């Protein structure tokens, strides 16, 4: 009877190793779990396989043990391995989803900052704008605010992505208008552009305050 139990235990260990190898080579695990979780899964699989091998050697050839006790040992090891693998899988999926979320948020930041940078570059090419330094400084401040914010604030801004994009589109249209109007009206157009930039700042600051308030209440 012990021989049959040993064969089943070795078969389970081989199946676990094969499933791990298939997951790694197929690439499915690479997209769902970060590297540390995949390594931990491999370590757990290796420990389970070695444990099965040691138990087979001890219980088959060295120790005298009843088949019921031997079966219990193998079932406990198998159950422990399954529990560890399930926990690693769930933890890996959660960590992977958080990484993807942060990546998406960072992409939103970069796209918004690139649009602001593009608008600023257009203004720099306009030589007939009176006192452009103040306007350009407002754009630089906005661009740096978007790029160098902490992750919690970036996540808050992603929640109002559409609103920010609408105001940046309005800003792009305003810069085109500023470039098209006659020289006497450029100062007025530049002032309106500055107001739009400051409005975007106000929206972002308000969202930042709300995010920090929610985070403080959740602690």
Residue 33 covered by a domain: yes
How many whole angstroms separate alpha carbon 67 and alpha carbon 74? 10
Residue 164 covered by a domain: yes
Residue 120 covered by a domain: no
Residue 177 covered by a domain: yes
Query: Do 74 and 11 belong together in one domain?
Result: yes
What's residue 176's pLDDT?
Answer: 85
Q: Which domain holds residue 157?
A: 126-218
Enumerate helices (H) and strands (E) in the chain, giving the number of each.
8, 0
Tokens 């810069």 correspond to: 175
Residue 119 covered by a domain: no
What's residue 50's pLDDT?
Answer: 92
CB distance 129 to 190 below 8 Å: yes
CB distance 166 to 192 below 8 Å: no
How many whole angstroms separate alpha carbon 199 and alpha carbon 193? 10
Profile the chain (219 residues) by mean pLDDT over runs of 10 residues. 84 90 72 80 92 88 82 92 92 86 81 87 76 78 79 65 84 84 78 87 80 64
Query: Do 145 and 91 belong together in one domain?
Result: no
Residue 137 covered by a domain: yes
Residue 101 covered by a domain: no
Residue 77 covered by a domain: yes
Query: Do 13 and 75 belong together in one domain?
Result: yes
How many whole angstroms separate alpha carbon 125 and alpha carbon 145? 23
What's residue 47's pLDDT?
Answer: 93
Query: Do 214 and 166 belong together in one domain?
Result: yes
Query: Do 66 and 130 belong together in one domain?
Result: no
* Domain end among 44, 74, 96: 96
Domain count, the chain: 2
Closest alpha carbon to 48 in 24, 82, 25: 82
Query: Do 87 and 130 belong together in one domain?
Result: no
What's residue 44's pLDDT?
Answer: 93
Supply the DSSP string of 50-96, one letter for each residue: HHHHHHHHIIIII----HHHHHHHHHHHHHHHHHHHHHHHHHHHHHH
């Amino acid at each position: 009877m012990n021989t049959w139990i040993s064969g089943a235990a070795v078969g389970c260990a081989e199946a676990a190793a094969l499933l791990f190898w298939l997951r790694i080579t197929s690439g499915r695990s690479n997209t769902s779990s970060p590297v540390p979780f995949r390594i931990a899964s491999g370590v757990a699989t290796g420990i389970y396989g070695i444990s099965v091998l040691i138990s087979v050697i001890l219980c088959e050839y060295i120790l005298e043990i009843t088949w019921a006790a031997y079966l219990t040992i193998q079932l406990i090891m198998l159950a422990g391995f399954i529990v560890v693998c399930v926990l690693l899988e769930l933890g890996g999926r959660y960590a992977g989803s958080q990484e993807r979320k942060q990546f998406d948020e960072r992409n939103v930041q970069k796209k918004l900052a690139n649009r602001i940078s593009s608008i600023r570059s257009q203004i720099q090419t306009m030589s007939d704008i009176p006192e452009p330094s103040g306007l350009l400084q407002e754009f630089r401040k906005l661009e740096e605010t978007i790029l160098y914010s902490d992750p919690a604030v970036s996540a808050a801004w992603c929640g109002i992505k559409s609103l920010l994009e609408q105001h940046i589109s309005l800003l792009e249209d305003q810069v085109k208008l500023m470039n098209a109007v006659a020289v006497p009206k450029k100062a007025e157009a530049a002032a309106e552009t500055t107001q739009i930039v400051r409005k975007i700042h106000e929206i972002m600051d308000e969202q930042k305050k709300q995010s920090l308030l929610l985070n403080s209440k959740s602690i």
